Structure 1
Amino acid sequence: MTTKFEKAVSIVNSLPKEGPVQTTTDQKLRFYALFKQANEGDVKTSRPGLMDFTGRAKWDAYKSVEGMSKEEAANKYVEALLEILKANQSDESIKYIQEIEKA
């Protein structure tokens, strides 16, 4: 994995729930899917049952990136985070952008 990807994962995992950088549920699912694809490749499990709403949403997101290379998924993860940070324009976002660019 690239250093930029590892830095982006670290940033996403450290974002406080009430901080200046907020992510939507769809964005969180996209990060989940790209992370799984970058680390494990294509989904290998069956879709969770009807009552497992969270599991199904995560599985569906992961399935949506099936066929993408691990490298491409890692790059898209970084791009997705940078897009969110650039749209936010807070001091925290600028700091995170600089950290990713230095990595």
Structure 2
Amino acid sequence: MSKGKFDKAVAIVKSLPKGGPIQPSQDDQLYFYSYYKQATIGDVDIPRPGLLDFTGKAKWDAWNERKGVTSEEAYVKYVEKLLIILEATETEEAKDYIKEINAA
């Protein structure tokens, strides 16, 4: 899996409009977040947020679960997950995104 496909997938995920036809679930969003951080930074390198920061803890925990995953593996997991979501959506927009990823 190329970094180009990963970069294209990241750009697509970041551009998805709220309320649009392609809506990753909260679990999917944590999945993308954790593999993005693992691909771009590596193993979690910050302390776990405090008890009242529920979102921060969920993100930290998701990222920490990826400990030891290489950047290349993280690229693959991120792109594969997005392709699964896009294929399930079956819209023209999703089909266009799939073509963009495959062309990258």
Amino acid at match of 1:10: A
**Cα root mean square deviation, aligned:** 0.8
Amino acid at match of 1:52: D
Aligned to 2:17: 16
Runs of 5+ unmatched residues, structure 1: none
Aligned to 2:73: 72
Q: Cα deviation per residue 1:46-101 (whole Å; 9 max; x = unaligned)?
A: 11111000100000110111110011001110001001001111111101000000
> What CA distance in whole angstroms lies between the structure 2 residues aligned with 1:46 and 1:2?
28
Amino acid at match of 1:102: A
TM-score (normalised: structure 2)? 0.96
Runs of 5+ unmatched residues, structure 2: none
Amino acid at match of 1:38: A
TM-score (normalised: structure 1)? 0.97
Q: Find runs of 4+ consecutive structure 1 residues off by over 3 angstroms.
A: none
How many residue pairs were aligned?
A: 103
Amino acid at match of 1:71: E
